[in-house]
Amino acid sequence: MRKILLSYLVIFGLLCASAVNAEEQSSDSVDDQAIFEIRNYHYDPAQFDAYKVWLLEEAAPFLRENLNVVGFWVGNAQAPEINGASPMELSLGSANVTWIIRWGSMQERAKTNEQLFAGEQWQKIWAKHPDPNGYLQVESRFAKGY
């Protein structure tokens, strides 16, 4: 019984050491310049249904194909939870579209945006936009991955 228990402990120890080594290697190999862009859009609620159709059928498939999209949310299924010592009332409410995009660097972002959004394929998609002036506010924030 002791031999079996000791064997399990040794195997468990080796598995834990392997997991720690793998985690150290993956964090060491993370590009120090890599950033995440969090884009929040406040799109006109009066036109949101038409925008959502265009976004899901036209824009999102193209953007997912051409960008490293980490996350994408459309709409507000539930009211947001706003807490803290000094919560603010937001005149536009919470964003109704959020994207998270991973970039290798800010330089990669600038180059990709310039090329991608000037391209013929995006211009065809943009031409179908229900109302390009419907963006009440667009916010981009940047963070490093940890």
- As averages over each run of 10 residues, the pLDDT of the chain (146 residues) reads 35 35 42 88 95 96 96 85 88 92 96 96 98 97 87
pLDDT of residue 57: 97
Q: What is the pLDDT of residue 59?
A: 97
Q: What is the pLDDT of residue 81?
A: 86
Q: For residues 146 and 143, what is the distance between their CA atoms, to the nearest angstrom?
A: 9
- In the prediction, which pLDDT does 30 show? 53
pLDDT of residue 136: 97
pLDDT of residue 31: 62
Nearest to 145 by CA among 16, 29, 21: 29
| CA R_g for the chain | 22
Q: What DSSP line would sit under 12-57, residue for residue?
A: HHHHHHHHHHHHHHHHHTS-TT-EEEEEEEEE-GGGHHHHHHHIII
Q: What is the pLDDT of residue 93?
A: 85
